Amino acid sequence: MTKISAIIPTLNEEIHIADAIKSVSFADEIIVIDSFSTDKTLAIAAQHNVKIIKRKFDDFSSQKNFAISQAKHSWIYILDADERVTPKVEKEILAAVKDPEGFVGFYVRRSFYFAGKHIKYGGCQSDKVVRLFLKEHCAYEGVVHETIVSSGKLGFFKNRIEHFSYKSFDHYISKMNHYGAIRAKQYFEKRKKINYLFHIVIKPAARFCIHYFIRLGLLDGFPGYIFARTQAYGVYSRYIKLWLLKRGID
Whether 134 contacts 105, CB under 8 Å = yes
Report how far apart, in Å, the C-alpha atoms of 162 and of each of 92, 119, 241 are.
Answer: 15, 11, 31
Q: What is the pLDDT of residues 47-57, one digit of tens each?
A: 999 999 999 99
Whether residue 59 sits in one domain with residue 12 = yes
Whether residue 108 sits in one domain with residue 62 = yes
Q: What is the pLDDT of residues 189-226, one digit of tens each?
A: 999 999 989 999 999 999 999 999 999 999 999 999 99
Which domain CATH number covers 135?
Answer: 3.90.550.10
> Would the pLDDT of 1 be above 90?
no
Average pLDDT, the chain: 95
Question: What is the rounded CA–CA span in Å between residue 17 and residue 201?
Answer: 38
Give 54's strand partners.
Answer: 34
Residue 241, domain extent: 169-246
Q: What is the pLDDT of residues 152-185, one digit of tens each?
A: 999 999 999 999 988 788 888 988 999 999 999 9
Provide the sign of the torsion angle of the four alpha carbons 70, 71, 73, 78, taken in this order.
negative
Report the share of the chain in percent with pLDDT over 90: 86
Whether residue 91 sits in one domain with residue 183 = no
Range 203-225 burial, b when 16+ CB lie within 10 A, else e: bbeebbebbbeebebeebeebbb
Determine the pLDDT at residue 142: 85
Whether residue 112 sits in one domain with residue 53 = yes
Report the share of the chain in percent with pLDDT over 70: 99
Mean pLDDT across 22-41: 98
Domain stop point among 137, 163, 189: 163
Helices (H), ranges, the chain: 17-23, 41-45, 60-70, 87-98, 169-189, 203-209, 221-246
Whether residue 77 sits in one domain with residue 177 = no
Give the pTM. Answer: 0.91
Supply the DSSP string of 48-78, one letter for each residue: SS-EEEE---S-HHHHHHHHHHH-SSSEEEE
> Would the pLDDT of 135 be above 90?
yes
Whether residue 54 sits in one domain with residue 142 = yes
- Please report which confidence band the pLDDT of residue 144 belongs to, taking 50, 70 and 90 as the band edges: confident
Domain stop point among 141, 163, 185: 163
Domain stop point among 163, 197, 231: 163
Q: Return the DSSP state at 217.
A: G
Q: What is the pLDDT of residues 63-89, one digit of tens each?
A: 999 999 999 999 999 999 999 999 999
